Amino acid sequence: MDPRLSIGHNLLKKITLACVAIFLSGGVAVAESEEAPSAKPEMLENCPGLVATHAPRVIPASLRLAALAGDQVRISYVGHSTFLIESPSLVRIATDYNDYVTPPVRPDIVTMNHAHSTHYTDSPDPKIPHVLRGWADEYGKPMRHDAQVRDVRVRNVPTNTRDWGGGTERHGNSIFIFEIANLCIAHLGHLHHTLTQAQLNEIGRVDVVMVPVDGGVTLDLDGMAEVLAGLKAPLMIPMHYFSTYSLRRFLERVKQNWDVQMNETPSLVLSKASLPTTPKVLVLPGH
């Protein structure tokens, strides 16, 4: 085995055990909200967009960089909490960018959260033009982003995390929202608590949500199901599971509420018109 892969695997195991210990010790992250920035007109047009009534036609795709139509977005699962999202003008975004799980191409935008080191890096590639950290340098202060890069808008909604002492770190995580090709795509990051109505309002209506499904290191399964019910996204993509057991446990729980489908490839191309007519959990191969 490549020594770097072995180191990353061992680190993930240690981090997982440490986080579970914190969770079991009683540390609870509480949802708090500060006054959100005023909604911009373009957010009101894009994010609350109506779910399409066309027949679903999510198109499987490989990781090759085929051209996208003007209304399409490519989403590829790289691993853990990292996705590569590509816009029609080929703006490339890597979520929860870190030193262990990296996309096959250099992204134009990276987003990060600092729950632990598999969700961020202190030394991103200096050639990446836009590095968006989901936490502020000043402890306990919310970080705010609202960036436009060609045909992509990126903004965030801060949430709290459990800290290493078993307490709550205010604004330690960010939910990043990507507005591309009339789609709103939300990445929940390392979410540790259910969302307030104010936070749901600030996020707005989303079309696709990437959701951590480990069921303990982040939010418990019932809590995560509550978050998904509040977001009402027609397409939900699991991430952040450490074994097929934790993934199966999540899928068994959400089958009570939504259809579940396994994708053949780790990548898909979708548009507003191709969204499912009824909410669906779509599993992309990976871990």
Q: Can you tell me the distance from the alpha carbon of 216 to that of 29, in angstroms, rounded to the nearest whole number?
A: 12
Per-residue pLDDT of 142-191, as tens digits, reads 999 999 999 999 999 999 888 777 788 888 899 999 999 999 999 999 99
Q: What percentage of the chain carries pLDDT values higher than 90?
A: 65
Q: Is the pLDDT of residue 39 over 60?
A: no
Band (pLDDT 50/70/90 cuts) for residue 287 is confident
- Please state the rounded mean pLDDT for residues 27-32: 60
Q: Name the pLDDT band for 35 (thresholds 50, 70, 90).
A: low
Q: What is the rounded average pLDDT for all residues in the chain?
A: 84
Could you count the other beta carbons within 10 Å of the beta carbon of residue 79? Answer: 16
pLDDT digits (tens, 9 = 90+) for 47-72: 643 333 333 445 454 445 578 999 99
pTM: 0.81
Whether residue 102 has pLDDT greater than 80:
yes
Contact 85, 177 (CB under 8 A): no
Q: Identify any residues that bridge with 239 across adjacent strands, giving them in sequence order.
A: 212
In this predicted model, which residue has the larger pLDDT, 192 or 21?
A: 192
What are the chain's domains? 3-283 (3.60.15.10)
177-207: pLDDT as tens digits: 999 999 999 999 999 999 999 999 999 999 9
Residue 134 pLDDT > 60: yes
Confidence of residue 91 (pLDDT cuts 50, 70, 90): very high
Across 204-232, average pLDDT: 95
More confident residue, 129 or 116: 129
**Banded model confidence at residue 36, pLDDT cuts 50, 70, 90:** low
> What's the rounded mean pLDDT across residues 222-239?
97
211 — pLDDT class (breaks 50, 70, 90): very high
Q: Supply the pLDDT for residue 12.
A: 46
Q: What was the pLDDT predicted at 140?
A: 81
